[in-house]
Amino acid sequence: MKTMDVRKFKAQCLSLINEVYERNEEVTITKDGEPVATLVRCGPDETFGFVQCKGSTVGDLVSTADAGERNSGK
């Protein structure tokens, strides 16, 4: 597995995505020496899988925090 600082990752992001895809390798991205993320290749069934029924919603995502004040006439 390759490890790379976030600043270097930012500069090489697109080429790294291609490299991860083509070689099926992982890249761990670090900030100040600490791991913050890992770039991995997704399989055909995993692409955007986190959106497909693997999450949950709590509350109303459409209303803003002050919507109640506007609706109550305050």
Give the pLDDT of residue 7: 94
Which tens digits make up the pLDDT trace of 17-74? Answer: 999 999 998 999 999 999 999 999 887 665 555 544 444 445 555 544 555 555 555 4
Q: What is the pTM of this model?
A: 0.56
> Alpha-carbon distance 41 to 18, whole Å?
9
Q: Which CATH superfamily is domain 2-69 in?
A: YefM-like domain (3.40.1620.10)
- Report whether pLDDT(6) > 80: yes
CA geometry: angle at 64 spanning 59 and 67, to 5°? Answer: 105
